């Protein structure tokens, strides 16, 4: 019998992750972003990372349209920001009142993120109800600060 959806969520939630906001833009230049923890390093040569985006997300069409995205790794004080970008819809309105600047690839870089990674789309693969995007890393920066952590469906901090 296939695993029940809620049970699957519970099981996967036992894998502690950081939290990111992934940003991109439409061809008209409207900015989009969503909270995501399905993010991993893939390759050093060429430098690649992986994200997984829900096909039902409002921002989903813009990843292939723009062929660029930026992964913003959130700091421990950015739970409110994470919650905001986890609410579906609103497009660029999600960014109202939020400090950000435009990166070299055109996608927003959020202030106070502990790192950002700018990518060009390298490849896309079907992942069931998600699409897996491999991003080729063009530019990245790291800053001081501890990460926001997601574990068992809740926000945590490292506590050390």
φ, ψ at 88 (rounded to 5°): -75, 140
> Which residue of 2, 89, 128, 159 would you call a contact of ligand FMN, by CB under 6 A?
89
Q: How many CB atoms lie within 10 A of CB 69?
A: 26
Using CB atoms within 10 A of its CB, is residue 109 exposed (0-12), middle (13-18) or buried (19+)? buried
* CB nearer ligand FMN, residue 45 or residue 89: 89
Which residues within the stretch 25-64 sit at the binding site for ligand FMN (CB under 6 A)? Answer: 34-38, 52-54, 57-59
**Minimum distance from CB of 82 to ligand FMN (Å)?**
6
Residue 138, classified by CB atoms within 10 Å of its CB into exposed (0-12), middle (13-18) or buried (19+), is middle
117 binds ligand FMN (CB under 6 A): no
87 binds ligand FMN (CB under 6 A): yes
Total chain residues near ligand FMN (CB under 6 A): 17
Nearer to ligand FMN, 22 or 137 (CB): 22
CA distance 129 to 17: 21
The footprint of ligand FMN (CB under 6 A) covers: 19, 34-38, 52-54, 57-59, 86-89, 150
């Amino acid at each position: 019998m296939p695993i029940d959806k809620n049970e699957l969520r519970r099981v996967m939630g036992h894998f502690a992750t950081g939290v990111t906001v992934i940003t991109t833009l439409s061809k008209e230049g409207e900015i989009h972003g969503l909270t995501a923890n399905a993010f991993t390093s893939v390759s050093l040569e060429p430098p690649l990372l992986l994200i997984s985006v829900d096909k039902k997300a409002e921002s989903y069409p813009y990843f292939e349209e723009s062929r660029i995205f930026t992964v913003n790794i959130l700091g421990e004080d950015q739970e409110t920001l994470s919650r905001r970008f986890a609410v579906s819809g609103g497009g660029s309105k999600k960014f109202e009142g939020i400090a950000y600047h435009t990166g070299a690839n055109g996608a927003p870089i959020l202030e106070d993120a502990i790192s950002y990674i700018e990518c060009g789309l390298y490849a896309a693969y079907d992942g069931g109800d998600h699409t897996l995007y491999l991003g080729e890393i063009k530019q990245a920066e790291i800053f001081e600060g501890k990460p926001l952590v997601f574990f068992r469906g809740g926000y945590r901090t490292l506590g050390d």
